[in-house]
Structure 1
Amino acid sequence: MKRPNILFIMADQMAAPILPLHDAASPIQMPNLMRLAADAVVFDAAYCNSPLCAPSRFTLVSGQLPSKIGAYDNAADFPADVPTYAHYLRRLGYRTALSGKMHFCGPDQLHGYEERLTSDIYPADYGWAVNWDEPDVRASWYHNMSSVLQAGPCVRTNQLDFDEEVVFKAQQYLYDHVRSAGEQPFCLTVSMTHPHDPYTIPAEFWDLYRDEDIPLPSQHIDQAEQDPHSQRLMKVIDLWDKPLPAQKIKDARRAYFGACSYIDSNIGKLLKTLEACNLSDNTIIVFSGDHGDMLGERGLWYKMHWFEMAARVPLLVHAPKQFAARRVSQNVSTMDLLPTLVELAGGTLQDDLPLDGRSLLAHLEGRQGHDEVIGEYMAEGSISPLMMIRQGDWKFIYSQQDPLLLFNLRHDPQERENLAESAEHQGLLADFINQAQARWDMPAIHQATLASQRRRRFVASALTHGALNSWDHQPMVDASQQYMRNHIDLDDLERRARFPQL
C-alpha cells in the first residue's frame, strides 16, 4: 500500500479558546479551517508542553519533554542527536521538508528535514538566554508592550515578508513534487509566524472586522492580585504599573483576529494547491500551533504561563478516508504528534529510544485514548521550574517557589477560582503533589537549567568578538538549474515544467 503524504501546517501563537474551531460565538473568520474541520478529527483540549516558541517546538518535533532535551528557553541548544519525526519519516522513505519557522537554536538547523525551503525568522544563536542569576534584571530583548501600543493596519511587515515566502515556497514544493512524477511520499511542514505579534495586518484582513465587533478581554485581574508568576511576567513585558488604553487593547485584538484570517487564507492556498496537483486524496493534513496568546485576558499578554489562552492550541487531523469526523474531548498535547505521525506513515517506534509523547491513533479511531498532558516551563518570567499536569477536568500548576494552583476547568473554564487552598480539595491536591514529586526532581532540573543558562551566556558573549560565523539557515538556490539555460534542452524543460503533462 502506498504511504500517505503528510502536510503539517503550523500557526504561531494562535490561542485555541477564541477560535471558531472551539467557540461557536467567535467573531474570527476562518472559513477554510472550518471546512477542513468539518471532515476532520478535532481535538478540543490540545495543549503545548511549554508555552514558549522554541521549547514548545523542540518538544513537538521530538516527542520529549523540555527537561529531557535541554529545551529551557528561546536560546536553548537543540542537540543534533535527538530523534525527531523528520528522522523517523526519512527512515520510512519520506522526503521531509520544512518551509518556515521552527526556531532551532544551535549549529544543526535541519534536525532530520532533508530540505529547509526558507531561513528562520528568529535567530539561531544563544543571544536570548534567560538569566536566573539576575532574576530582577529585565533583559533588553524581552517582549515589551510596543506590539499593543502600535497595533493597527499596515501595508507590510517583517512577519508578512516571511509568511509570503513560506507559503510560496511550500506551493512550489508541491508543484515540483507532482512534476517529478516520483513515487516517494513527502512530509511537508509549513510553519507560519502569524498571528504572533506585532499586532498589525493589512487592511484586507483588518477590514474584515468592525471595531464594535471586537470584544475586550472577559476578565481583568489587578496586578496586586495576580499570582507571583503572572506578576513577574507583567514586569518582563514592561506592563507593571503601565495600564493600557482600552482602544489599543481592542486594536491589538482586532489585528490578531485579522492575522488569524490571514493564516486561514494561506491554508486555503495550500488546500487549493493540493487539489490542483491531485494530491488531496492521499495527503493527511495536520493543523496545529506552538502555543497561544493571552491577548489581555487576566491583564496578561503573549504567552509564558499555563492559563488556557496561552497553553491551549488548535489541533486537527484531516484524513476522511481513514478517520470519521469527530470531536475529541480528552487532554492531549503536541508532544503526541511524533508517535502519531510515525504510525500514520505505517511505521513503528523504536523501543530503545526515549519518548514521552503518546500516539493519538486511538483518539483518531474513536477508541479510548489517554487523557493527560504534562508541561514544563523554565523560561522568561520564571525563577525556577514551573510545571503543569492536566488530567480530566483538572489543571495543576506546580512550583517549589510559587503557590500551587489548582483549577477545575469543567466548572471554571476561565480559571478564576484556585482550589489549592480549598479544604474539600486537599485530598486531590495531595495526589497531584505526589504525582509531581514522583515525576520531577525539581532541584536537579533547576540546577541543569541554571548551568545551561550560564554556559550559553558565556558562549554567546564570546561569539560577539571577532568574525561572525552565523548558524542561521542559508537556503541555497542553484540558478544554473532554474528556468531556461543553454545546457538544458528547451523542449524537454517545458515538458517537465508543465503540469499536467501532455
Structure 2
Amino acid sequence: MGDDGPAARPNILVIMFDQLTPGALGCYGNRVTHAPTIDRLAREGVVFDAAYSNSPLCTPARYCMMTGRLPSATRGYDNAAYLPSTIPTMAHYARAGGYRTVLDGKMHFVGPDQLHGFEERRTTDIYPADFGWTPDWLRPDERIDWWFHNMDSVTRAGVAEVTNQLLFDDEVGHQGVRALHDLARDDDPRPWLLVVSFTHPHDPYVTRGRYWDLYEGADIPLPEISAADVPLDPHTARLRRVSAMDEVRINPDDVRNARRAYYGNISYLDEWTARLTATLGALGVADDTVVMLLADHGDMLGERGLWYKMNFFEGSARVPLIVHAPKRFSPKRVAAPVSLVDVLPTVTDLVGAAAPAPVDPLAGRSLIDLCAGDPTVEREVVGEYMGEGAIAPIVMIRRGDLKYVHSPVDPDQLYDLAVDPHERVNLAADSAWSAQVKAFREQVDRDWDMDALHTDVLADQARRRLVDSALRTGRVTPWEYTPPADGSGQYMRNHLDLNEVERTARFPR
C-alpha cells in the first residue's frame, strides 16, 4: 500500500465454498454456527443479502461466475457440460489486463481445457472432467445410483477423521496458503487473481470430531417448513424421485445430525479462511487485496422436505457474497439482488482500464457501485436450470421482492419474499397478481426461445452421451488435471545458487 492509500490495481482473492446456504452463517442470522472469521469479514466488509446462483448446480453455477454469462449462452447446462476454450473467463480478462492468475481447488471444468485462462493450477479437481454425468431428459424416471444423490448423506451423517472431501480441502487450504507465499516471494511484479475453491460444506454431511464437538449441546434447529406445509409442485416431485428422497424415512435425529455436521464443516472452512486472511496480513498485502467470499449455490438442508440444490427456492438458489476491502469500501449491507454473473465484471472493474472490453454481451454487472454505496442502483437477477431433475428448461427472475419461476411443462410460481420469505404461498394463480404474472411471462417470451433452448439441451445431451460412450471404449485418456511437479527445482539443489535460493525463498527479502 502506498502513502495515499491502497494500490490502484489490487490483488484479488476469491474464497469459494460449495453448497453453502447463507442461512447457515451467523452473518446472515444463524445463531448456532461458529464461524468467527467469516463473521468478521462480514462486519468489516460489504454483505449482499440477496445474492443468487444463476443455476443452482455446481458446474453451471461456476461457469456463470467464470464467464459472466448464463447457461443458455455457453451451453453450461449441467454437471457434465463442456466449456469451450473460445469463451473468455474472468481469468482471461484479468490475465490480459496484466494480472497473474492462479486457481487452487475445485472448479469442475469439463473437457480437455482445465485452465481456462489460469496460468497455474495448484490441485486437481475433486469431480470428473468427462461427460459421464450427462443427464438424459428423454428418460426422466431413470436413476443412476453411481452418481445421483441419495439419502445416505443424511442417514449416515456424523463424524469421520478422513473423507474424500476432507482430504481434498486439506490440500486446497494448504496450497492456497502456499500460493500466497509463492506470489509474495516471486519477482513477478504483476498483481494477482487467486481463486481458492473448497468443496465443503457439500454433502456427505460428515465432519471431523473436533468440529462436531463444537456443537455439543447446541440447539440445532429443525427445518421451518416441512414437506407437508406446502403443496407439492412438479419439479419438487421430480427432485424427490431423482434423489430417492422418498425411499427412506428421515427422522428428526437424522436432520439434526446432518445439520450439525454441515455446521461443523463450516467451522472447518472458517479455520482455512482465517489462515488465508492471516497470511495476507503476515505478508503485508492485506490492504492491497480485495477478498471476495462466495459459494456456487446453497443447500435446502431439509426445508420443504428437500435436500441439496437443483431448484430456485431460497435455500438452494441464494448464496453468501461478501466483499472485504475496508480500505476501499465502508462496511454495509446491500439489499439489491445480485448474482454470480456479476463476479466477472466486478473483477474487470478492479483490474481497471487494462482489462479488455467484453467481446460478448455479459449477463452481469459490476458490484463496485453497490460496494461504494450507490443507493440508486436497481438490480434484477435471472437464473436458468437445465440439469438433472428437470425435463424442460426452468427460468427464474428476481425483481424487487418478487421471484418468478417458469417452465413450459410446469405451473408458474410467484412469491413475494417481503411477506413470504419461506415461499409458502404461490401467488401465480391468484387473480390479484395476474398483471405481475403477465408481465413476467411476457419477459420470458421476449428474452428466451424456450422451445429452441429445449431442443438444444436434448441435442447437446445426446452428443455428449455418444462421445462419452466412445471415449470409454478401448484406451481411455482422461481429461483430469494433474498439477506438474518438478522436484529438481524445489528447495535446495546443487545446480542452484544457495545464496539465490535463500534470497528468493525469504519474504520479506
Q: Does 1:350 align with 2:343?
A: no
Following superposition of structure 1 onto structure 2, how do residues 263-412 of structure 1 map, counting pairs within 5 Å?
A: 263-347=269-353, 348=355, 350-367=357-374, 368-412=376-420
| Residues 366, 106 of structure 1: alpha-carbon distance in 2 compared, 3 angstrom cutoff | same
Q: Does 1:170 align with 2:144?
A: no
Do the aligned residues in 2 keep the contact of 1:17 with 1:312 (CA within 8 Å)? no
In 1, the alpha carbon distance for the partners of 2:356 and 2:501 equals 41
The secondary structure found in structure 1 opposite 2:38 is: helix
Q: Does 1:227 align with 2:224?
A: no
The secondary structure found in structure 1 opposite 2:31 is: coil
Q: Does 1:54 align with 2:62?
A: no
What amino acid is the match of 1:174? Answer: L
Q: CA deviation at 1:246?
A: 1.6
For structure 2, which runs of at least 5 residues remain unmatched after alignment? Answer: 1-6
- TM-score, normalising length from structure 1? 0.97
Structure 1 range deviating more: 175-184 or 94-103: 175-184
The secondary structure found in structure 2 opposite 1:17 is: helix
In 1, the alpha carbon distance for the partners of 2:321 and 2:144 equals 33
Question: In the alignment, which of 433, 450, 455 is matched to residue 447 of structure 1?
Answer: 455
Question: In the alignment, which of 71, 79, 98 is matched to residue 74 of structure 1?
Answer: 79
Do the aligned residues in 1 keep the contact of 2:16 with 2:296 (CA within 8 Å)? yes
What amino acid is the match of 2:205? Answer: Y
Tell me the equivalent position of 2:3: none
Tell me the equivalent position of 2:508: 500
Tell me the equivalent position of 1:257: 263
Q: CA deviation at 1:223?
A: 10
Deviation sequence 1:228-259 (CA, Å, 0-9, x none): 10010011111125321221111000000111
Deviation sequence 1:95-116 (CA, Å, 0-9, x none): 0000000000011111111111
In 1, the alpha carbon distance for the partners of 2:186 and 2:138 equals 54
Structure 1 range deviating more: 471-480 or 181-190: 181-190
Tell me the equivalent position of 1:86: 91
Structure 1 range deviating more: 252-261 or 207-216: 207-216
Do the aligned residues in 2 keep the contact of 1:339 with 1:349 (CA within 8 Å)? no
What amino acid is the match of 1:102? Answer: M
Tell me the equivalent position of 1:120: 125
In 2, the alpha carbon distance for the partners of 1:354 and 1:105 equals 23
Question: In the alignment, which of 430, 445, 452 is matched to residue 437 of structure 1?
Answer: 445
Q: Does 1:14 align with 2:20?
A: yes
Do the aligned residues in 1 keep the contact of 2:151 with 2:248 (CA within 8 Å)? no
Q: CA deviation at 1:318?
A: 1.1
Deviation sequence 1:458-495 (CA, Å, 0-9, x none): 11111111111110011001110011211012233223
Q: Which runs of 4+ in 1 moved over 3 A?
A: 222-225
Question: In the alignment, which of 29, 33, 36 is matched to residue 31 of structure 1?
Answer: 36
Question: In the alignment, which of 27, 38, 63 is matched to residue 68 of structure 2?
Answer: 63
How many correspondences in the alignment? 500
Deviation sequence 1:64-102 (CA, Å, 0-9, x none): 000110011000111111111100000111000000000
In 1, the alpha carbon distance for the partners of 2:185 and 2:111 equals 35
Question: In the alignment, which of 458, 465, 489 is matched to residue 497 of structure 2?
Answer: 489
Do the aligned residues in 2 keep the contact of 1:49 with 1:335 (CA within 8 Å)? yes
The secondary structure found in structure 1 opposite 2:493 is: coil
Do the aligned residues in 2 keep the contact of 1:17 with 1:308 (CA within 8 Å)? no
In 2, the alpha carbon distance for the partners of 1:369 and 1:76 equals 34
| Residues 94, 189 of structure 1: alpha-carbon distance in 2 compared, 3 angstrom cutoff | same
Do the aligned residues in 2 keep the contact of 1:159 with 1:193 (CA within 8 Å)? yes
Tell me the equivalent position of 1:413: 421
Tell me the equivalent position of 2:4: none
What amino acid is the match of 1:401? Answer: V
What amino acid is the match of 1:77? Answer: Y
In 1, the alpha carbon distance for the partners of 2:505 and 2:32 equals 42
In 1, the alpha carbon distance for the partners of 2:66 and 2:31 equals 30
The secondary structure found in structure 2 opposite 1:469 is: coil
Following superposition of structure 1 onto structure 2, how do residues 132-281 of structure 1 map, counting pairs within 5 Å?
A: 132-140=137-145, 141-222=147-228, 225-281=231-287
What amino acid is the match of 1:234? Answer: R
The secondary structure found in structure 1 opposite 2:410 is: coil
- TM-score, normalising length from structure 2? 0.96
Q: CA deviation at 1:398?
A: 0.4
For structure 1, which runs of at least 5 residues remain unmatched after alignment? Answer: none
Following superposition of structure 1 onto structure 2, how do residues 85-104 of structure 1 map, counting pairs within 5 Å?
A: 85-104=90-109
Tell me the equivalent position of 2:430: 422
What amino acid is the match of 2:267? Answer: S
